[in-house]
């Protein structure tokens, strides 16, 4: 899917394209390119190269490559933006995220909101940059416990397994390293005082015992008290982009507190508010800093004719992905000034600068 953000616009605006997929999952990119060639796209318009850091460095320094798009981790994105920019290339790097969903418990539609959050948190096993990884429950602390318990109950209904098996809701993580890292963060968050309401560690699937499975996990940082928006949240379940089916629960008294906490987070990819109050929604959309805002929409990824407008630490580069911004990224502005003379001996300029309105 991610490649489709870039190369259709790139070739539509007259460029050729080199696609370098992750070495951990290259098959989809190879299939996309095969389909393009099968449809008659001339050889060399869209190309695939495989490899790791050496291949990336080749792309970043090659004199014929003018612009680079990247989606992935902050560490890799910052490196690509830095080296690519130093080599005179235009770079857009979409990086990490910690997307917050704010729930106005007093008026949000409870059943549909619970279902939406569970789907957005655990779909794709949490391995998408727009996954909802934090839910901020606004209102009474005791009521927040009830909401958290319902989130757990709904998450328990999800089926974990091989993604190619019909009826499976949550597939495996991309690698053993990713699974180990997620489990270590869960363990550390518990050690630092979090309440693990649903623990998906050690999940095994019959017939796929060696798979990298992590079941839906819900970690509550507000089991005993509201989060104070004036204090820094240091628990790794909140500070780390886990990129796994892990949902962190916070509770705060007011909408102002929820906005304050969300805005203090370094990332700014996406966010959502669940409410039936027009006033709350309007306040949220104007005061929240994240670049993509959903109002009763759990994953507010824009339609293709708009642009993917994540901001803050979620992006490096000044031009966003796809939409009008994407067209700007894959094209270069040019200005042509003409002076056609309809008789000989006209004034084509002299030693002085031209002045507007000169006779």
Number of helical H runs and strand E runs in the chain = 11, 14
Reference 292, options 282, 306, 276; nearest CA is 306
At CA 299, angle to CA 296 and CA 303, rounded to 5?
100
- CA dihedral over 267, 270, 273, 274, signed as positive or negative: negative
The residue from 101, 129, 242, 290 that is catalytic is 129
Strand-pair category, 195-198 with 217-220:
antiparallel
Helix axes 74-86, 53-61, angle to 10 degrees: 30
**What is the distance between the alpha carbons of residues 84 and 61, in angstroms, rounded to a whole number?**
7
Q: Does residue 129 have an active-site annotation?
A: yes
d(CA 67, CA 79): 15
Q: Are 26 and 55 in contact (CB under 8 A)?
A: no
Q: Say how far residue 95 (Cα) sits from the centre of its chain.
A: 7
* Enzyme catalytic residues: 129
């Amino acid at each position: 899917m991610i490649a489709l953000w870039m190369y259709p616009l790139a070739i539509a605006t007259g460029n050729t394209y080199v696609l370098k997929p992750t070495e951990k999952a290259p098959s989809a990119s190879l299939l996309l390119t095969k389909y393009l060639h099968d449809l008659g796209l001339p050889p060399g318009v869209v190309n695939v190269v495989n490899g790791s850091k050496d291949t990336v460095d080749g792309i970043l320094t090659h004199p014929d490559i003018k612009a680079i798009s990247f989606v992935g981790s902050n560490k890799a994105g910052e490196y690509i933006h830095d080296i690519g920019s130093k080599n005179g290339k235009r770079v857009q790097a979409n990086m990490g995220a910690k997307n917050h969903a704010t729930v106005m418990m007093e008026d949000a539609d409870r059943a549909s909101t619970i279902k939406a959050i569970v789907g957005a948190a655990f779909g794709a096993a949490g391995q998408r940059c727009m996954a909802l990884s934090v839910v901020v429950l606004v209102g009474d602390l005791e009521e927040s416990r009830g909401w958290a318990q319902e989130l757990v109950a709904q998450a328990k209904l999800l089926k974990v397994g091989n993604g190619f098996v019909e009826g499976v809701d949550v597939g495996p993580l991309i690698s053993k390293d990713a699974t180990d890292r997620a489990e270590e963060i869960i363990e550390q968050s518990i050690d630092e005082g979090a309440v693990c309401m649903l623990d998906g560690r050690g999940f095994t699937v019959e017939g796929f015992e060696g798979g990298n499975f992590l079941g839906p996990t819900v970690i509550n940082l507000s089991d005993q008290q509201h989060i104070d928006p004036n204090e820094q949240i240091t628990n790794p379940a909140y500070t780390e982009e886990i990129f796994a089916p892990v949902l962190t629960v916070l509770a705060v008294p007011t909408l102002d507190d929820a906005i304050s906490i969300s805005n203090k987070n370094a990332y700014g990819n996406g966010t959502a508010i669940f409410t039936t109050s027009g006033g709350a929604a309007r306040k949220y959309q104007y005061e929240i800093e994240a670049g993509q805002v959903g109002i009763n929409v759990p994953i507010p990824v824009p339609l293709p004719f708009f642009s993917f407008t994540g901001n803050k630490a979620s992006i490096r580069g000044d031009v966003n992905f796809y939409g009008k911004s994407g067209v700007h990224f894959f094209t270069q502005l040019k200005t042509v000034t003409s002076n056609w003379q309809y008789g000989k001996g006209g004034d084509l300029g002299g030693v002085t600068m031209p002045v507007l309105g000169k006779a």
